[in-house]
Structure 1
């Protein structure tokens, strides 16, 4: 008699969700990890840390464009973004010139294929979400972000000018933590909170997607405390103007 047992390959072909997320019950939709697997990317099972924090080497081994594309759906699905940055201008707020300089340094440092031009084009298209009033954004930047020179003076001036323009959008709030601010929490690694469903943060060698309620709550609390130290409106604009003047 023919066997009625379904083969593993057939079972796997029917899967639409990762076993991990079914087991943890924190998501019932295809994940970035599953989509990466579907593209042919594989995990080093001997490296347990990479199960949860995939290395940039894995995510970017075909270049930077795919990584930019991979979050497009997430951006469209998110209503409220909370972004804290301590290193560079947030991707949402970058000009093409600034993004080109930044992604070029990333590709060079990590030794990834050079598809920076394509990656920048994807980022600029992706950032159109900023002009959609259905999405709201709260940014908190350390003042040092305005001063780091990752590009030429002309490109940086254009970037800072763009930042001033974005502050006029009704669905965007930009706060800047001055060097002189009295604060109750230290500067920390950059992170983004998507609604109340996930947090993206990373280190030099790995990316982390955090989806446990306790993790999200911790980062939300950190964002709130960083936000309290930030200035907005005219005070924030004066800090940007000072950074522009320092380019001369």
Structure 2
């Protein structure tokens, strides 16, 4: 059972308790609400997610309008899906990469901001190998490194498709972060430079000396207008509540305005490459 489903079942249990406390049968409650009896069963057993209006009506029909605040708080918890990496990667990192790829292919528009590592859609195979290996070791998950790298590389096929439209922002320190040997990082920054030239991809580099009016606290992925994924050290957060998504859209927009693109972005990449190879900047 996923964390989301567990929370939905918990909400169903609470709804059942309210009905039982009132002494109503499921059929009687359904009649009061003008619902089909099957809806009562689905809500109580966590097979369907209650809407805000459902919860308000349920509380009123059970004669406990004061219970609605607690029900709404439980429902809000459903909007933040918390899934630990240990649980997500129990079947291997390759399976997780394949699932992420399905999510990407189903989107019309993807906005990415990364503050610590190169986004998976732009990673070289060798860079991906080091990043994925770090995760496997940290969370002690099954070692399917080769399969995981291949799955991540397959995700990049969407870059040659008309959809989704991808907007990628990378904070400049990512270009210099030593998460792999220098030669692997040189190959990686070359890949970023080449990707910037692609007319279809919108890639911006956020300079460290840019004047910001928002704090780029962490990386995140925005899928269309209805989902945000945030990776923490121990878990992945999936935000689907509109109030939770809105700040991420605002932050992305503001960071995007000060990010460098085209030739200016390539200059930052070239500087990072020179630093990695210890070459003079005009060499």
Shorter-chain TM-score tier: 0.7 to 0.9
The superposition leaves residues 153-205 of structure 1 with CA deviations (integer Å, 9 ceiling, x where unpaired) of 11111111111111122221111111111111112111000111211112111
2:138 corresponding residue in structure 1: 109
Contact 1:142 1:176 in 2 (8 A): yes
Say if 2:186 and 2:276, in contact at 8 Å, map to a contact too: yes
- Normalization by structure 1: what TM-score? 0.79
Root mean square deviation, CA, Å: 2.1
Q: For residues 62 and 181 of structure 1, what CA distance do their matches in structure 2 show?
A: 41
Highest RCO, 1 vs 2 (Cα 8 Å, sep ≥ 6): 1
1:227 aligned residue: 256
Match of 1:209 in 2: 238
**Greater alpha carbon shift after TM alignment, 83-92 vs 61-70:** 61-70
**Matches of 1:62 and 1:119 in 2, distance apart?**
11
Which residue matches 2:183?
154
| Kept after mapping to 2: 8 A contact 1:135/1:171 | no
The answer as to whether partners of 2:196 and 2:261 remain within 8 angstroms in 1 is no
Residues in 2 aligned to 1:226 and 1:128: alpha-carbon distance in whole angstroms: 27
What SS does the aligned partner of 1:53 have? strand
- The aligned residue for residue 32 of structure 1 is none
Residues 137, 172 of structure 1: 8 Å contact kept: yes
TM-score in terms of structure 2 length = 0.70
Unaligned runs of 5+ in 1: 1-10, 26-47
- The reply to whether residue 199 of structure 1 matches residue 228 of structure 2 is yes
Aligned to 1:186, the other structure's residue is in SS state coil
1:189 aligned counterpart, secondary structure: coil
Distance 1:194 1:217 in 2: 12
> 1:103-135: CA deviations, max 9, x gaps?
011111111111111001011011110111232
Q: Which residue of 2 aligns with 1:135?
A: 164
Structure 1: how far apart are the matches of 2:164 and 2:227? Answer: 16
> Shift of the alpha carbon at 1:100?
0.2
SS of equivalent to 2:50: helix
Q: Distance in 1 between matches of 2:134 and 2:98?
A: 19
Aligned residues: 210
Matching residue of 1:23: 50
Specify the structure having the higher radius of gyration (Cα): 2
- Superposition deviation, residue 20 in structure 1: 7.2
Q: Secondary structure at the match of 1:208?
A: strand
Q: CA deviation at 1:21?
A: 6.3
State the alpha-carbon separation in 1 of the partners of residues 100 and 206 from structure 2.
Answer: 28
Q: Which has more helix, going by share of residues?
A: 2
Q: Which residue of 2 aligns with 1:89?
A: 118
Q: Of the candidates 182, 190, 199, which is equivalent to residue 211 of structure 2?
A: 182
Query: 2:209 is paired with a residue of what secondary structure?
Result: coil
Q: Which runs of 5+ in 2 are unaligned?
A: 1-37, 53-76, 278-283
Residues 1:242 and 2:271 are matched in the alignment: yes
Cα deviation, residue 61, structure 1: 1.8
